[in-house]
A and B are shown apart, each in its own frame.
Chain A
């Protein structure tokens, strides 16, 4: 088992390396850099430019060096925990990112739990009652969630929550708790705001999960051991929970790999609409202002989050299913 985990972690490294190259190329693509556009902006406002500071920043962050060298600096820095400097915020990237990344993680985890909670019973119901009205109705509902653009749903839910529950608009807590010390009320306020993004992001992933769970469970239900069990007089409920469901459960864990990128994508755009203090809004603004280190680090973090999430789900799967940890090791 330990060997399996180690091997999975080792294979993660080249993946992350390639991702870092990809990210670097993307943030380097726009012509010019932040300093150039910053200078232009200052000059157009008729302000003087502090040549020394610009020169210092340019040298400090190697903007005058060739691209390959810049990349190496960036990667080397990241390995030491130095993610560069956000020109726009005038702060080290780590300080800008910190809490926001944490909140993104919380929202993502909450969303996945929510998706599971919804998709699990519905998937089982749909599979055991195939082609019934309930099956059609619930699948239709799932499709509707899939088809509605997240950002609009967020907007509408925000409005409805404000009208019916009096939830304050935008943000992740009521304004009076921002910056306040942690208290029970603050936690309540966060919970009160958290459910909207979670539901909104969850709707898009739920449909896919229901469909995949249904298909998987249907496959299992048609196997001979189920017929045997039924012939021997096992009650339907016990038969379902004891065998086919347990097999389908493996897939449920494995599916996080499909779900996680979608959840994080959803979290980004919903956060922009709802102005949540997560990575979304800042990622957007840093991309627009070419604040390259900030944007690059965000993209890197999000990729890391996905890769680690998939790793965790793979390990959980290996714990659940001996075929994977044994079979995988034998064949490779």
Chain B
């Protein structure tokens, strides 16, 4: 018996064995950022935190619309009013979101204002309505709000402060300053870090030694006292906007050291690579080599570590404003709001003035988790 061999007549195509499945092909062809995104997506918590952050930053675009009241509206009849809760059912009947009306009485013993709820008065909230007028981004007048207080009623979701201003609205506006100060600050410290760290790492030698000593000195100093000293220097007669930039620069001035160190140590090892030598031989200038060939190699790491240092800046601003050394009213940030909650009687009598703490904590935690996820995803080839 002879075995029959089957030989295909077709010409052999070597690629047929090694052909990539569509999934594999997609993976191998993907860019670095694409890979990072895929890796980040698997980190569920980081994605959720990222989404919360995006929502937060999106909200500062429309602060005026989201806030039911204007930033400076004073409701003098409702000073230190406690938060009003939103109800859906009245005596077992579904009505939709509404608040109860409130009376006013003065406790003559401790001179505290009380606002007892009047359970008979049902005041439905208004949505997509016209309320306090404002200048949207200082550009044009409008009065459109997402939620408005009921007609002849009030809607203080988080209570009011000593001038009867709605805390919820003020927190919404405060986000604008508090969230941007971190970003602007990180932008400055990022630039400083890349330039200084880049010079130190690329040139080495005495430049490196000087920069290293400088970083050591700055790092060995407790941050807050230095921040305090620097912000005490800002002239009192500066406009609020200038103060804002002054504070940002101060925060950034102590923050660049970490990034500069990262850039330096990466550059020290990368500049020995062949492609760097090749670029040098072809006559590329140091600026081009650093910016075009070396930096993109670890940009993702830098962005991740920058994300992780935003929270420190937000906390720094909050602390400085709380001490009265940072931003000053009428500029409203979360720190400025917390400045009102400086003494113990506030905690005892008007605890809702502490609410600005909640967004601070939320933003800082989300930044931390998001940054952690980014850092894990930053090196997709591992």
A18 touches B219 (CB 8 A): no
A22 to B341, CA, bound (A): 33
List which A296-329 residues lie within 8 A (CB) of chain B. 298-299, 302-303, 306-307, 310
Contacts of B289 in A (CB 8 A): none
Give which listed residue, A18, A149, A158, contacts B319 with CB less than 8 A: A149
Select the stretch in B67-75, B113-121, B223-231 that faces chain A.
B223-231
A287 is an interface residue with CB less than 8 A from chain B: yes
| Most A Cβ at <10 Å: residue of B226, B230, B311 | B226
A155 is an interface residue with CB less than 8 A from chain B: yes
A39 to B224, CA, bound (A): 30
A152 to B232, CA, bound (A): 22
List which B208-242 residues lie within 8 A (CB) of chain A. 213-214, 216-217, 219-226, 228-230, 232-233, 235
B88 is an interface residue with CB less than 8 A from chain A: no
With A15-B213, A155-B344, A284-B228 as contacts: A146 and B368 at CB distance below 8 Å: yes
0/1 string, B307-336, CB within 8 A of A gives 1: 000010001001100110100000000000
Give which listed residue, B318, B347, B360, B365, contacts A155 with CB less than 8 A: B347
B221 touches A149 (CB 8 A): no
Residues of B contacting A: mostly: helix
Contacts of A147 in B (CB 8 A): 311, 360-361, 364-365, 368
A224 to B217, CA, bound (A): 39
A73 to B220, CA, bound (A): 25
B338 is an interface residue with CB less than 8 A from chain A: yes
| Most A Cβ at <10 Å: residue of B220, B221, B315, B323 | B220
A43 is an interface residue with CB less than 8 A from chain B: no
Cβ distance A285 to chain B, nearest Cβ, rounded Å:
10
0/1 string, A265-307, CB within 8 A of B gives 1: 1101100110000000001100110000001001100110011
A150 is an interface residue with CB less than 8 A from chain B: yes
0/1 string, B46-63, CB within 8 A of A gives 1: 000000000000000000
Contacts of B364 in A (CB 8 A): 146-147
With A144-B365, A169-B344, A269-B323 as contacts: A295 and B357 at CB distance below 8 Å: no
B222 touches A268 (CB 8 A): yes
With A144-B365, A269-B323 as contacts: A287 and B222 at CB distance below 8 Å: no
Give which listed residue, B228, B342, B348, B361, contacts A287 with CB less than 8 A: B228
With A261-B223, A268-B222, A299-B226 as contacts: A149 and B232 at CB distance below 8 Å: no
Cβ distance A146 to chain B, nearest Cβ, rounded Å:
7
A31 touches B235 (CB 8 A): yes
A14 touches B220 (CB 8 A): no
0/1 string, A30-49, CB within 8 A of B gives 1: 11000000000000000000
List which B335-360 residues lie within 8 A (CB) of chain A. 338, 341-344, 346-348, 354, 357, 360
A148 to B369, CA, bound (A): 15
A83 is an interface residue with CB less than 8 A from chain B: no
Cβ distance B356 to chain A, nearest Cβ, rounded Å:
9
Give which listed residue, B214, B216, B319, contacts A151 with CB less than 8 A: B319
Cβ distance B318 to chain A, nearest Cβ, rounded Å:
5
A149 touches B318 (CB 8 A): yes
A28 to B217, CA, bound (A): 19
B338 touches A149 (CB 8 A): yes
A127 to B374, CA, bound (A): 21
B220 touches A310 (CB 8 A): yes
B357 touches A306 (CB 8 A): no
Which residue of chain A lies nearest to B363 when distances are taken between CB atoms in the complex?
Answer: A147
0/1 string, A167-180, CB within 8 A of B gives 1: 00110000000000
Which residue of chain A lies nearest to B319 when distances are taken between CB atoms in the complex?
Answer: A269
Cβ distance A228 to chain B, nearest Cβ, rounded Å:
26
Which residue of chain B lies nearest to A15 when distances are taken between CB atoms in the complex?
Answer: B217
Contacts of B323 in A (CB 8 A): 151, 269, 272, 284
Contacts of B235 in A (CB 8 A): 30-31
A27 to B225, CA, bound (A): 12
Which residue of chain B lies nearest to A261 when distances are taken between CB atoms in the complex?
Answer: B222
A146 to B306, CA, bound (A): 17
A306 to B224, CA, bound (A): 13
With A155-B347, A295-B229 as contacts: A22 and B217 at CB distance below 8 Å: yes
A306 touches B229 (CB 8 A): no
Contacts of A15 in B (CB 8 A): 213, 216-217, 220
Cβ distance B238 to chain A, nearest Cβ, rounded Å:
12
A283 to B323, CA, bound (A): 12
A127 to B34, CA, bound (A): 31
Cβ distance A151 to chain B, nearest Cβ, rounded Å:
6
A299 to B221, CA, bound (A): 9
A120 is an interface residue with CB less than 8 A from chain B: no
B344 touches A150 (CB 8 A): no
B225 touches A148 (CB 8 A): no
| Most A Cβ at <10 Å: residue of B232, B346, B368 | B232
B225 touches A264 (CB 8 A): yes
Contacts of A150 in B (CB 8 A): 319
Cβ distance B81 to chain A, nearest Cβ, rounded Å:
21
A29 is an interface residue with CB less than 8 A from chain B: yes
A302 to B221, CA, bound (A): 8
B348 touches A159 (CB 8 A): yes
Cβ distance B11 to chain A, nearest Cβ, rounded Å:
51
10 closest pairs, A vs B, by CB? Answer: A265-B224, A147-B364, A287-B232, A264-B222, A159-B347, A29-B233, A265-B222, A261-B222, A147-B361, A147-B365
5 contacts between A and B (CB under 8 A): A156-B354, A261-B219, A265-B222, A287-B325, A306-B220
Given contacts A30-B232, A143-B365, 20 further A-B contacts (CB under 8 A): A18-B214, A26-B230, A27-B229, A29-B233, A30-B233, A149-B319, A156-B354, A159-B344, A159-B347, A162-B344, A261-B220, A269-B224, A269-B323, A272-B323, A283-B228, A287-B228, A295-B229, A298-B225, A306-B220, A310-B220
Task: Please report A residues at the B interface, Cβ cutoff 8 Å.
Answer: 14-15, 18-19, 22-23, 26-27, 29-31, 143-144, 146-152, 155-156, 158-159, 162, 169-170, 260-262, 264-266, 268-269, 272-273, 283-284, 287-288, 295, 298-299, 302-303, 306-307, 310
